[in-house]
A and B are shown apart, each in its own frame.
Chain A
Amino acid sequence: MEALVNQLPIGLSIGAVLLLVALGLTFTFGQMGVINMAHGEFIMAGAYTAFLLQDLLLALPAAFLVAGLMGLILERAAIRHFYGRPLDTLLLTWGVSLVLQQLARDLFGAPNVQVAAPPWLTGAIGILPYNRLFILALAVAGVVAVWAYLGHTRQGRRTQAVVQNRQLAATSGIDTGRVDMLTFFIGSGLAGVAGVALTLIGPVGPALGTYYIVDAFLVVVAGGLGQLRGAVLAAAGLGLLNSYAEFWSDASLAKVIVFAAVIAFLQVRPQGMFVLRSRALT
């Protein structure tokens, strides 16, 4: 029974990890329609930033910058030529992810590296260790920051305007190229932050990104591509489902169950949890 109750916070904390890795993805997709397969490698870049600095609090902003700049470069150099072709972007960024993985292997070596967790994260409240709570808090902070940015800053509102009608926004004086750049910077930066957080609980190596990318995509799909509210609910839902499914069966089956659940869910809500309505015929 105790174990059963424990699974609840565990599920939420798994959800927090999912949310954190999917947040940047949902941001870039929602705002720009870009599916970034190199997102996992931006997470990895964040984790390696933490490895180089060996200081969690310093690493958070630094990783945001590092991954964000990588995203910025990617956007300027390649992705901007692909707007409106999400499938091509998906494949292009996959190529980028391959190169980045091998680059990490050459720069840092193939074996995992160690990032020491700060001593103040040792300990636990109930079943949840401090580092899990830290991730939970970080995920919440990330969501709040994105929400505040989009709804309550000038630049955020511009971003929203571009999402709703790119041409109209452009003719009313918004530099859409700049907005895209900034959006991609933030989305990738969030991946970097996720990478720092993941060093607390997982391996830090060239393959890091590949472990999380499929799950992150599932969250984005189930949440409704690009919907912040949806992503939060989907992450929590999938986290809990995963936690209980694994508890009653095993880790392998839990993954299969989560996948089946997402397919089933799409039968009920084909466009994810929340969708923007549009009268345009696509």
Chain B
Amino acid sequence: MLELRDVRVVFDGFHALDGVDLTVPEGELRFLIGPNGAGKTTLIDVITGLTRPAAGTVTFDGHDLVGRKEHRIVRLGVGRTFQTSVVFEELSVVENLDLAACFRRPLWSLARRRKGVSQAVEEALTRTGLEELADRSAGVLSHGQRQWLELGMLLAQRPRLLLLDEPVAGMSREERERTGELLTQIAADHTVIVVEHDMEFLRRHASKVTVLHEGKVLVEGSVEQVSADPRVQEVYLGRKPSDAVGK
């Protein structure tokens, strides 16, 4: 479904991605890990059109994504979240979700007031457990709630491929657990790529992992395979992989 071939990105002489190949079949939950500066976020940026690769191809469902504008890629069914979640603080939770759900409608049809809550929004609210906060402004949400709202917005978009950039960073243990449940639910009927540092989270939820290092794919496989790989241990400064990756 998603296929990257020999993708290269250069920032001022620095090779952020140096010939990455990646294939993610439909329905898979894929984790991307690697030390800081390995190129994880850059990879997501390339897929979603935020960064244009110097070379290589990115195809999603037969569509070439390179050079396509961000919103057009979203319209193909690729959605993403950001490390530092960005929600619209002046809008209420339900308005945030509603905007996310409406992008396929023609612009002129938006010139009317929202009446009620659409099914997609309803669903996103239930899944993220934000029903109670639906009419509160997004500005008052806690950090974890914001992350969920962002996930909810992503769900409301009804994408086919979801890219999550560190969804549990900065969350408390309970919040992480809830996010994990949410992730499992989502992964049941979506293709998902998750960038994550949290090793415990990784162990619990990952089926397949890709390790990036210095802009290249170092190794790919199941969690056990990857954490046993000596190259991965070396990359994480020779420490025990669990400590190092867990950070």
Contact = CB atoms under 8 A, between A and B. Distances in A.
B82 A277 contact: no
Contact of A277 (B12, B41, B45, B86): B12
B41 A281 contact: no
A154 interface: no
A100 to B, nearest CB: 35
A279 interface: yes
A152 B156 CA distance: 53
B86 A279 contact: no
A277 B42 CA distance: 13
Interface string A256-282: 000000000000000000000101010
B165 to A, nearest CB: 10
B11 interface: yes
Contacts of A281: 50, 82, 84, 86
Nearest to A281: B82
A277 B84 CA distance: 19
Nearest to B42: A279
A279 B9 CA distance: 13
The bracket for how many chain B residues form the interface is under 10
B57 to A, nearest CB: 22
Contacts of A279: 41-42, 45
A279 B11 CA distance: 10
Nearest to B86: A281
A172 to B, nearest CB: 19
A143 B50 CA distance: 35
Instruction: State which size class the interface on A falls in.
Output: under 10
Contacts of A277: 11-12
A280 to B, nearest CB: 9
Interface string A162-206: 000000000000000000000000000000000000000000000
A281 B49 CA distance: 13
Nearest to A277: B11
Interface string B152-172: 000000000000000000000
A274 to B, nearest CB: 12
A133 to B, nearest CB: 38
B98 to A, nearest CB: 22
A129 B123 CA distance: 76
Nearest to A280: B84
Contacts of B11: 277
Nearest to A276: B12
Contacts of B45: 279
Contacts of B12: 277
B36 to A, nearest CB: 12
Interface string B12-48: 1000000000000000000000000000011001000
Contacts of B42: 279
Nearest to B11: A277
A98 B84 CA distance: 41
A279 B45 CA distance: 9
Interface string B199-221: 00000000000000000000000
A279 B86 CA distance: 15
A45 to B, nearest CB: 40
Nearest to B51: A279
A277 B41 CA distance: 15
Nearest to A282: B86
A51 B224 CA distance: 80
B204 to A, nearest CB: 29
Contacts of B84: 281
A279 B16 CA distance: 12
B3 to A, nearest CB: 24
A234 to B, nearest CB: 22
B75 to A, nearest CB: 19
A277 B11 CA distance: 8
Contacts of B41: 279
9 contacts: A277-B11, A277-B12, A279-B41, A279-B42, A279-B45, A281-B50, A281-B82, A281-B84, A281-B86
The 9 A-B residue pairs whose C-beta atoms are closest, nearest first, are: A281-B82, A277-B11, A281-B86, A277-B12, A279-B41, A281-B50, A279-B45, A279-B42, A281-B84
Interface of A: 277, 279, 281
Given A277-B11, A281-B82, 5 more contacts: A279-B42, A279-B45, A281-B50, A281-B84, A281-B86
